[in-house]
Amino acid sequence: MPKTKKKDSVEQIVAKAFAHPLRVQILIILNERVASPNLLSQELDQSLNLVAYHVRVLEKYDCIELVDTKQRRGATEHFYRATRRQFLTDSEWARMPESLRPGLSGAMLKAAFDDIDEAVVAETFDELEDRHLSRTPMVVDKQGWLDVAKLLAETLDRTLEIQAEASERLANSDEEGMLSKVQIMHFKSPEPKQDSDESEDAKDAKDAK
């Protein structure tokens, strides 16, 4: 009896699709707008062949879809949009190989910093009085960590609901849409480095015992 090829699980597909930081960067862009490999290569400052390869991988794993083609100088340019958001669910992230996580986080952080820098330079970051900017160092136990993680996951879910509700209202009104960006981060911070003077005091106290 011939062997049948085992179908990849959702987690395996995600792991393969997100296995390269450049694919994450491509997905981030295609979540915001339609673009071709040529446009992507220019924006990401990467070779067209390399970008085109990673676009094919994302298409293979149904993370993006072809939406348009145009004739450019005797060649056909393909335009894509994302069908999957660039972030991973908690369960997908937990199943990602640890070796891939820094690259994915780096790609997401680069996009976040680029968003912030663009808004600051354009002077839109502080344009609205109720814009939110906060930094909250905390000391928590394991339960506290889990509680914050759950709260932020729920916040993300509600944020996406608000996006959908706003899109529906905009479709039925003459109001012009406003592009906004929401960045959510929660991470373990390294222990603060000891001040050199404090280190010397601690050493002297130890030597005095």
- CATH of residue 35's domain is 1.10.10.10
Q: What are the backbone dihedrals phi and psi of residue 87, each rounded to the nearest 5 degrees, phi first?
A: -100, 160
Domain span including residue 43: 10-104
H-helix segments, 98-141: 101-121
> Helix or strand or coil: residue 137?
coil
pLDDT score for 1: 44
Domain-embedded: residue 65: yes
Q: Which own/partner pairs from 128-133 qualify as long-range (CB within 8 Å, at least 24 positions apart)?
A: none
| Main-chain dihedrals φ then ψ at residue 79, nearest 5 degrees | -115, 135
Note the pLDDT tens digit of each residue in 76-125. 899 999 887 766 777 777 777 787 788 778 878 888 898 899 999 999 99
3-state class (DSSP) for residue 91: helix
**Domain membership flag for residue 199:** no
pLDDT tens, position by position, 42-52:
988 999 999 99
Q: pTM of whole model > 0.75?
A: no
Tens place of pLDDT per residue across the chain (209 aa) = 444 444 455 566 677 777 788 888 898 888 888 999 999 999 889 999 999 999 999 999 888 999 999 988 778 899 999 887 766 777 777 777 787 788 778 878 888 898 899 999 999 999 999 999 999 999 999 999 999 999 998 998 898 899 889 888 988 899 998 989 899 999 999 988 776 555 555 555 555 55
Candidates 116, 135, 119, 138; CA nearest to 127 is 119
Identify whether the C-beta of residue 11 lies closer than 8 Å to the C-beta of residue 95.
yes
Q: How many domains does the chain have?
A: 1
In a domain, 119, yes or no: no
Q: Quick check: is 125 in a domain?
A: no
117 burial level (CB within 10 Å; 0-12, 13-18, 19+): exposed
